[in-house]
Amino acid sequence: MIFEEKKISGERIYQGKILSVRKDLVTAVNGQAYREIVEHGGAVAMVAVTEDDKIIMVRQYRYACGRAVLEIPAGKIDPGEKDPVAVAHRELKEETGYSASSVTHLGDVNPSCGYSEEVIHIYLMKGLTAGEQEPDEDEALEVLELPFDEVYAKAVNGEIADAKTMAALLMAKERR
Contact yes or no for 40/24 (Cβ under 8 A):
no
Residue 39 appears among annotated catalytic residues: no
Contact yes or no for 38/57 (Cβ under 8 A):
no
Question: What one-character-per-residue DSSP string does 126-169 give?
Answer: EEEE-------TT---EEEEEEHHHHHHHHHTTS---HHHHHHH
Catalytic-labelled residue, pool 137, 142, 150, 174 = 137
Q: Percent helix, strand, coil in the chain (nearest 5)?
A: 20, 45, 35
Coil vs helix vs strand at 171: helix
Just list the catalytic residues: 137
